[in-house]
Amino acid sequence: MTNVVGHLINGVVVNDTERTQDVFNPATGASETQVALASKKTMEDAIAAAEAAYPEWRNTPAIKRARVMFRFKELLEENADKICALIGQEHGKISHDAAGELQRGIENVEFACGAPELLKGEFSKNVGPNIDSWSEFQPLGVVAGITPFNFPAMVPMWMFPLAIVCGNTFILKPSERDPSSTLYIAQLLQEAGLPDGVMNVVNGDKEAVDVLLTDERIKAVSFVGSTPIAEYIYATANANGKRCQALGGAKNHAIVMPDADIDNAVNQLTGAAFGSSGERCMALSVAVAVGDEAGDALVAKMTEAMKGLTVGAYDNASNDFGPVITAAHKEKVQGYITSAEQDGAKIVVDGRDPKVDGYDNGFFVGATLIDNVTANMDSYDAEIFGPVLQVVRVKTMEEAMKLINDHEYGNGTCIFTRDGEAARYFSDNIQVGMVGINVPLPVPVAYHSFGGWKRSLFGDLHAYGPDGVRFYTKRKTITQRWPSSGVREGISMSFPS
């Protein structure tokens, strides 16, 4: 019998099998699991549960809310192997890569454990005679998160641990392509002692999302996914009076300067371009070589390094990366490689049709290197989201920076150089939200915040960290005077100063 991944509502896993969708193992190309797609009734149950749980959770002391997160962190660590296996079976990433994603998720739980400190607020004594003023950060109510397939453990944990310790109740709509690890993680949070209804998971598609965007009981929406959907989510949530942060797609460039340590740059680029099959929003998918000498050395050494890469199934830890998520996505990635070739770029290493023994029907694409790419090619504009590194050759650093600044996305970028002045100029002037200097994947740690610029993020506040606390709370400022007995203030018609 096919296993159906259900929803977590009011502390209980429920199946609603009116509509379901196949979930594939991308390494075998087969589906042994289905995911339930929430109906309107299921959505209503989830929202009602979250709303009912809110008043008591809001008034639970922050230290007690944090204690649940301490226990949750322990359960995540104790059950890491199971979580990573579930990620591998449905997403396809290799176990070592899944472990890295889980660790970065856990770091967000650790940050959330600091809730009492994070929610302390601000206090000023004597802002006027006998007048004190303070700001406190109150929860919003029921808030929602909508997440992508590529980090089924980490990205949800960018959202719900912090939202929940801030006193909100939460409804998560994970990706329908790899829902099992996310649901299991939510069950662990329940096991950690969270009251029923504080954390709810609804699996589903656009139908479920649209309820979250329009129901007036939902106060805020965090979204991570592709740019066209992010734009839709942001516009619709705003039109319905909700606070929204919507993180979108990316095209991340690395500049390789003539003075860079090329061997180091090649090692870093290899992991950042092909790790997780390039299905990371921070993947480096374009290397911009400054000068022909750097370009020639980069392409030659990268070609050499790529000979050692193996693509294969998630459960063999010696594999470097796994399949892409679906058969349709494999075709899309192959299509972009072909379009680059047709546009005159040079396919130096061709991964369009890799052979993976024992996995003839898997959605595999091998590591691909394309040289002489130019900014007018479709393959340059698009987020390919596959194991494809494109090399663009330019003459100067200014030209390289202009390419990056002119691109519609501004998520991450990196410069490989030994020149501190160049690196400083780059980080100061580049129009990108997350910048690496000899660091290829500059994903901010949990106590900073994550977010791109331009069409990589719609909204004002970045995800998690200090911005996350601000996103999931609203400021209230109180000004207080306790007059001494018998003292009466006179009437004043002028503005208080």
Residues in the chain: 497
Interacting span for ligand NAD (CB under 6 A) from 8-16, 219-227, 386-394, 483-491 = 219-227
Please report whether residue 247 would count as binding ligand NAD according to CB under 6 A: yes
Q: Which of 226, 238, 240, 427 is close enough to bind ligand NAD by CB under 6 A?
A: 226
Two structure tokens written together for 298: 């980069």
Which C-beta is closer to ligand NAD: that of 178 or that of 371? 178
Two structure tokens written together for 341: 């070739």
Please report whether residue 239 would count as binding ligand NAD according to CB under 6 A: no
Please report whether residue 249 would count as binding ligand NAD according to CB under 6 A: yes
Buried b or exposed e, range 182-198, using 16+ CB within 10 angstroms: bbbbbbbbbebebeebb
The Cα 321–Cα 318 span in angstroms is 9
Give yes or no for a contact between 433 and 414, defined as CB atoms under 8 angstroms apart: no
Please report whether residue 148 would count as binding ligand NAD according to CB under 6 A: yes
Instruction: Return the residues of window 454-473 that contact ligand NAD according to CB under 6 A.
Output: 456
The Cα 8–Cα 45 span in angstroms is 10
The Cα 415–Cα 426 span in angstroms is 8
Please report whether residue 295 would count as binding ligand NAD according to CB under 6 A: no
Q: Which residues pair with 355 in a beta bridge?
A: none
The Cα 387–Cα 277 span in angstroms is 5
Q: Which of 8, 68, 256, 281 is close enough to bind ligand NAD by CB under 6 A?
A: 281
Strand ranges across the sheet with 131-139: 122-128, 131-139, 473-481
User: How distant, in Å, are the alpha carbons of 113, 132, 140, 331 from that of 224?
Assistant: 23, 40, 20, 23
Please report whether residue 225 would count as binding ligand NAD according to CB under 6 A: yes
Cβ-proximal residue to ligand NAD, closest one: 225
Please report whether residue 312 would count as binding ligand NAD according to CB under 6 A: no
Q: Which residues pair with 458 in a beta bridge?
A: 246
Q: Which of 33, 39, 169, 175 is close enough to bind ligand NAD by CB under 6 A?
A: 175
Please report whether residue 211 would count as binding ligand NAD according to CB under 6 A: no
Q: Is 414 a catalytic residue?
A: no
Size of the site for ligand NAD (CB under 6 A): 27
Least spacing, CB of residue 397 vs ligand NAD, in Å: 26
Q: Which of 165, 185, 201, 209 is close enough to bind ligand NAD by CB under 6 A?
A: 209
Three-point CA angle 239, 245, 248, nearest 5°: 105
> Secondary structure of the chain: what % helix, strand, coil (to 5)?
40, 25, 35
Interacting span for ligand NAD (CB under 6 A) from 148-156, 305-313, 355-363, 389-397 = 148-156
Q: Which of 118, 119, 146, 199 is close enough to bind ligand NAD by CB under 6 A?
A: 146
Please report whether residue 172 would count as binding ligand NAD according to CB under 6 A: no
From 113, 166, 244, 281, the catalytic residue: 281
Give catalytic residue positions.
281
Q: Give the residues lining the site for ligand NAD (CB under 6 A).
A: 146-151, 155, 173, 175-176, 205-206, 209, 224-226, 229, 247-250, 281, 383, 385, 411, 452, 456
